[in-house]
Amino acid sequence: MAADSARRLVLLRHAKSAWPPEAVDHDRPLAPRGRRAAPLAGRWLREAGCLPDLVLCSTARRARQTWELAAAQLPGPPPARFDDRIYAAPATGLLTVVRDAAGQAGTLLVVGHHPGLQDLVLTLADPGSGDGSALDRARAKFPTAAVAVLELSTPWPALQPGQARLTSFVTPRDLHAAGLAEPSSSE
């Protein structure tokens, strides 16, 4: 990839998790609603042509499960790296992970947690570019299984605040409304 080529950073918040009393936070699994929403995110990535070259995923169980369910909707899942630094990371920590690991990826997907992902979107997005309504929605609420897509022209190691354009922000509710959800036998 040429240094001036556009890159995409895709941020996927893990899907809705369960709160079993015996589980520590890192080991919480997806709830039934999360198991339905994660494939929606994968279908949206496929339909939007937003296929990652590399995935960086939190080691938390709910994040790994989200990625597995989303990846099953892609034509060929890309390499995935599971990184302890993503779990509970603030925006600055996530930015370091992205700078360190992205390499030559044209599209990088990070599967992580709130509030770090939301704060990273708000840190990187230039408010004067991209989709202003998407930025307003991402600022107001970044629900589970939401996907944000940022475009940038800077090389990954040089990525700085305010250098990206937020081009898409979708939630499971948006995807249901758009008819991307497949009805299940329990609905």
According to the model, what pLDDT value does residue 71 have? Answer: 98
Tell me the mean pLDDT in the region 138-147. Answer: 97
Instruction: Give CA separation, 40 vs 49, 114, 117, in Å.
Output: 14, 19, 19
According to the model, what pLDDT value does residue 5 have? Answer: 63
> What would the pLDDT profile of 71-102 be if each residue is shown by its tens digit?
999 998 899 999 999 999 999 999 999 999 87
Longest dimension (CA), the chain: 50
> What would the pLDDT profile of 22-35 be if each residue is shown by its tens digit?
889 999 999 999 99
Kindly tell me if the per-residue pLDDT of 132 is higher than 90: no
> What would the pLDDT profile of 147-187 be if each residue is shown by its tens digit?
999 999 899 999 999 999 999 999 999 988 877 765 443 33
pTM over 0.75: yes
Q: How would DSSP label each residue in 4-37?
A: TS-EEEEEEEPPPB---TT--GGGPPBPHHHHHH
Tell me the mean pLDDT in the region 103-108. Answer: 90
Q: Considering only CA atoms, which of 78, 107, 102 is closest in space to residue 159?
A: 102
